Amino acid sequence: MGSHDSRFNEAIARLDALHQADPRDVIVDGEARPHEQVYAERMSEWLEAVKPEAGDILRLAVRAQHLQRWRIPRDDYPRDRPGYLMWRRDLGRRQAEQAARVMREVGYDDADCERVASLIRKEGIKRDPDAQALEDTACLVFLQYYFVDFAEPHLEDEDKLLRILQKTWKKMSAHGQSLAHSISLPDRHQSLMQKALA
């Protein structure tokens, strides 16, 4: 992670300890690991391509973006669009509060804590370069690591998948979109992507 102050390193360690409490596992290179820890590491890795000069505040927001997401299950909300939006809003609020609390415990001031919380709540996308960098990173992680599995149960509903790809694409900056072209997908999913962008 390069040279950071001790608060940053301690905050990352505490965030990762929370991530590692995820009861869901994912198999990576033959090893079972906590789902959320793997997601957080993938976010940090993609941020290096999206914004290599990112400051510690953005790096913390990116690392905490799905902080303990499993604690608010999607199934606790209605399975419709308003239910989905309510779930996303509640998740964002809880993750932002929790990340700010971790930062405060290791010595960050209120302004830095609120800045990270604001980024996690995705305030200012398209206007705030750091918020946009976080959004680009999340979209790239989704496309590289999660889109194929997400698409599997919906392959008969091509229109739905095309809409999701188009929405994902619109959320990204031109820089994020150019990075997305470097992601290699299986043929069927690659052709869906080409169709979505046509």
Reported as a single tens digit per residue, the pLDDT across 96-142 is 999 999 999 999 999 999 999 999 999 989 899 999 999 999 999 99
> What letter does residue 77 receive in the DSSP assignment?
S
How far, in Å, CA of 120 to CA of 96, rounded?
6
Contact predicate 140/46, CB 8 Å: yes
Contact predicate 180/143, CB 8 Å: yes
- pTM for the model stands at 0.93
The residue among 132, 165, 134, 163 whose CA lies nearest residue 147 is 165
The residue among 83, 91, 28, 89 whose CA lies nearest residue 64 is 91
- Model pLDDT for residues 35-78, shown as the tens digit of each residue: 999 999 999 999 999 999 999 999 999 999 999 999 999 999 99
